[in-house]
Structure 1
Amino acid sequence: MEKVYSNKAKNHRKSNAESPKLRDDDVPDTIDNADESLSNLDHDQISTAIDCFIDELSTDDKTTSPELPDIVDTFVKIVESNIKAYNNIQSGIRFAKITKEDELFMEAIKRLSKLKIALGEFPNSASFNTIKQVLQLAIVLIEDEFRAILQDSNAPSETITKGAEPEWYNHDDFPGYSKENVILMNKIASVMIPAGYQYECCLAYSEIRKDELDDQIKRFEFDKVSMEDVHKSKWVSLEPDITRWVKLTNHCSRVLFVEERKLGETVFSEHLPVFTGMFINLIRGITTSLLEFPTTVAIEKPKAKRLFKFLDIYESIRDLSVAIEESDSSDVKLEEYCNLKSEISVVGDTIGEVVVNMFNDLKQTISNDNNKTTVQGAVHPLTRYVMGYVKCAFDDYHNTLEHIFRKHVENEASSNMENSSLSQQLLDVIELLDANLETKSTSYKDPSLRYIFLMNNNRFVLQLVKETNEMKQVIGDNWCRRKSSDVRNYHKSYQRETWTKLLQWLTQEGIQVHGKPSRRVLKDRFKNFNAMFDEIHKTQSTWVVSDQQLLSEMRVSINAVVSPAYRSFIGRYKSQFEGSKSIDKYIKYQPEDIESLIETLFEGTEKVETQLNGIQALSTVKQTTGAFKNLLKTYKNVGLM
Structure 2
Amino acid sequence: MDSMVIQILTWVLHPKVWRFVGFASSIVGLLCYALSSSFNYLFGHWNLLKIFLYSIFSLIISIIILFANIWKHSTTHRLKAHAAFLVLTITSLYSFFFDKVVNGKPDAYSLMSCAAFSIMLLSLSRQIQCGFEIDLMYFFLGSLIVQLMKIKLELCILGVGFSYLIIFIRSVFSSINVVIYNQDPISLQVVVNSDSQQLASTDIRSSMAEQLSNCVNVLRQENSNLIDMLLEQLKEYLGDDSELTVSDPNFEAVLRPKENSNLMIDALPPETIENLHKIAKLMVSAGFEKYFSDVYISCRRGSLDESLSKLGFQKVSIEEVQNVSWGNFKQKIERWIKASNVAFKILFPTERRLCDRVFFGFSSAADLSFTGVCRESTLQLLNFADAIALGSRSPERLFRVLDVFETIRDLIPEFESMLGGLLQNEATTIWKRLGEAIRGIFMELENRIRHDSGREASPSGGLHAITRYVMNYLCIACESWQTLEQVFEENHGNLLKEYPKIEDRMHSSSALSVQMNWIMELLESNLEAKTKIYKDPALFYVFLMNNCMYMVHKTKDKILETILGDAVIQKYTAKIQQHRENYQRISWNKVLDILKLDSNGSMQPNEVAESMKQKLKSFNMLFDEICRVHSSWSVIDEQLKEEIRISIKKTLLPAYGNFIGRFRSVPELGKHADKYIKYEADNIEARIEGLFEGCNLSTGS
**Partner of 1:347 in structure 2?**
430
**Partner of 1:462 in structure 2?**
552
CA change 1:273–1:574 in 2 (3 A) is farther
Shift of 1:286: 1.4
Matched, 1:211 2:302: yes
Paired with 2:559 and 2:341, the residues of 1 have a C-alpha distance of 26
Matched, 1:291 2:375: no
Amino acid at match of 2:340: S
Structure 1 counterpart SS, 2:526: helix
Shift of 1:536: 1.0
Matched, 1:252 2:339: yes
Paired with 1:271 and 1:423, the residues of 2 have a C-alpha distance of 55
Which runs of structure 2 are paired with 1:370-519 in the superposition (5 Å)? 370-375=453-458, 376-395=460-479, 397-408=480-491, 410-413=494-497, 419-467=509-557, 469-510=558-599, 518-519=608-609
Shift of 1:258: 0.2
Structure 2 counterpart SS, 1:136: coil
- Partners of 1:451 and 1:493 within 8 A in 2: yes
Match of 2:643 among 548, 553, 572: 553
CA change 1:149–1:229 in 2 (3 A) is closer
Amino acid at match of 1:370: S
Match of 2:451 among 368, 371, 375: 368
**Partner of 1:521 in structure 2?**
611
- Partners of 2:261 and 2:346 within 8 A in 1: yes
Structure 2 counterpart SS, 1:284: helix
Shift of 1:195: 6.5
CA deviation profile, 1:440-475 (whole Å, cap 9, x unmatched): 2233332211211111111111221122x3322222
Paired with 1:194 and 1:226, the residues of 2 have a C-alpha distance of 36
Amino acid at match of 2:547: N
- Partners of 1:155 and 1:176 within 8 A in 2: no
**Partner of 2:240 in structure 1?**
165
Match of 1:136 among 168, 186, 192: 186
- Partners of 2:620 and 2:678 within 8 A in 1: yes
Higher normalized helix content (fraction of residues): 2
Matched, 1:181 2:267: yes
Shift of 1:534: 0.9
Shift of 1:541: 0.9
> TM-score with structure 2 length normalisation?
0.56
Which runs of structure 2 are paired with 1:201-240 in the superposition (5 Å)? 209-219=300-310, 226=317, 233=323, 237-240=324-327
CA change 1:172–1:362 in 2 (3 A) is closer
- Partners of 1:149 and 1:185 within 8 A in 2: no
CA change 1:501–1:211 in 2 (3 A) is same
Structure 2 counterpart SS, 1:412: helix
Paired with 1:369 and 1:546, the residues of 2 have a C-alpha distance of 23
**Partner of 1:155 in structure 2?**
229
Q: Of the two, which has the highest radius of gyration?
A: 2
**Partner of 2:45 in structure 1?**
none
Paired with 2:634 and 2:326, the residues of 1 have a C-alpha distance of 36
Aligned residues: 469
Amino acid at match of 1:481: Q
> TM-score with structure 1 length normalisation?
0.60
CA change 1:178–1:427 in 2 (3 A) is closer
**Partner of 2:688 in structure 1?**
598
Amino acid at match of 2:326: E
Paired with 1:202 and 1:564, the residues of 2 have a C-alpha distance of 97
Shift of 1:508: 4.0
Shift of 1:175: 6.1
Shift of 1:537: 0.8
- Partners of 1:298 and 1:350 within 8 A in 2: yes
Paired with 1:168 and 1:449, the residues of 2 have a C-alpha distance of 45
- Partners of 2:633 and 2:692 within 8 A in 1: yes
CA change 1:576–1:325 in 2 (3 A) is farther
Paired with 2:665 and 2:362, the residues of 1 have a C-alpha distance of 103
CA change 1:502–1:182 in 2 (3 A) is farther
- Partners of 2:462 and 2:547 within 8 A in 1: yes
- Partners of 2:218 and 2:272 within 8 A in 1: no
- Partners of 2:412 and 2:427 within 8 A in 1: yes
CA change 1:563–1:182 in 2 (3 A) is farther
Shift of 1:277: 5.4
Paired with 1:317 and 1:280, the residues of 2 have a C-alpha distance of 19
TM-align CA RMSD: 4.9
Q: Percent identity?
A: 27
More divergent stretch after superposition (252-261 vs 293-302)? 293-302
CA deviation profile, 1:304-332 (whole Å, cap 9, x unmatched): 4443343333334334434434535xxxx
CA change 1:212–1:226 in 2 (3 A) is closer
CA deviation profile, 1:255-301 (whole Å, cap 9, x unmatched): 23201245456665998967665544333211211333344455555
Match of 1:311 among 402, 408, 411: 402
CA change 1:249–1:558 in 2 (3 A) is same
Amino acid at match of 2:418: S
Paired with 2:689 and 2:491, the residues of 1 have a C-alpha distance of 52
Paired with 2:321 and 2:338, the residues of 1 have a C-alpha distance of 24
CA change 1:514–1:355 in 2 (3 A) is same
Identify unmatched segments of 5+ residues in structure 1.
1-26, 30-61, 63-121, 329-333, 609-641
CA change 1:436–1:206 in 2 (3 A) is same
Which runs of structure 2 are paired with 1:33-112 in the superposition (5 Å)? none
Shift of 1:501: 2.8
Shift of 1:527: 1.8
